[in-house]
Chain A
């Protein structure tokens, strides 16, 4: 079990996805999201955001891929794939919302589960979680997601 940090950023792109964490195409492994941090690094303004973490069945088309950073440098590279600044949103699964929280742009959100309360992503190729702001896409936002690969 190795832990990784994924930093995804969307800089005013036209899609609603900030980032996605999905299983690898060939050798997917289960992973658990055990910490999340959302926020906006744009100039302070009163915009309303609805942040959502939703299960997805495709990885979409990421503007750039994100390499999960091993928290222990001795750990191998992650098999889990991450992307940011999508030009095509991941295909999200209706009614499988893992987390939803409305926030003002000036607010920062942190979530930390107790052991056993993590968000579990299946060991399935291209399946995982999309982190989105469906109410606003024109503001630069960042999410830091910590994952534990099984």
Chain B
């Protein structure tokens, strides 16, 4: 794979299997690229490139992007998680200050 995002090694009784990985630009998870195939074939089997953020994404995220026509990057998802909890904390502090529990 051209410019892999990582590397995975499985060591077992049958030997060692090595494969490239990449981190999906949308959901932020690891995707394994099957070893032993031509680089371009293997990549197309497991990934696409989001035309909005230009990051490599997995098929599940590509389907979601096609359905919703939205590009939500992994960084945006993380920031959203942090905002939700921060909002909850502020709301709880407000309720506590107002004497509502």
Chain A residues in contact with chain B, CB under 8 A? 30, 44, 53, 96-99, 101, 103-104, 106-114, 116-120, 122-125, 127
Contact = CB atoms under 8 A, between A and B. Distances in A.
Given A107-B11, A114-B6, A119-B28, A124 B23 contact: no
B53 to A, nearest CB: 14
Nearest to B79: A122
A114 B8 contact: no
Given A113-B5, A123-B82, A124-B85, A108 B30 contact: no
A124 B74 CA distance: 15
A110 B81 CA distance: 28
B85 A120 contact: no
B57 to A, nearest CB: 13
A127 B84 CA distance: 12
Interface string B19-35: 00111000111101000
Interface in B1-57: 3-13, 21-23, 27-30, 32
Contact of A111 (B6, B11, B28): B6
15 contacts: A44-B13, A96-B29, A98-B29, A99-B29, A107-B12, A108-B10, A109-B8, A109-B10, A110-B9, A111-B21, A112-B8, A113-B21, A113-B30, A117-B23, A117-B30
Contacts of A120: 28, 74-75, 78
Contact of B85 (A96, A97, A112, A127): A127
Contacts of A123: 82
A44 B4 CA distance: 33
Q: DSSP class of A's interface residues: helix, strand, loop or mixed? A: strand
Contacts of A106: 12-13
Contact of A117 (B11, B12, B21, B32): B21
Contacts of B28: 98, 119-120
A117 B22 contact: yes
Nearest to B80: A122
Contacts of B10: 101, 103, 107-109
B6 A113 contact: yes
B43 to A, nearest CB: 15
Contacts of A122: 78, 81-82, 85
Given A99-B30, A108-B11, A119-B29, A124 B82 contact: yes
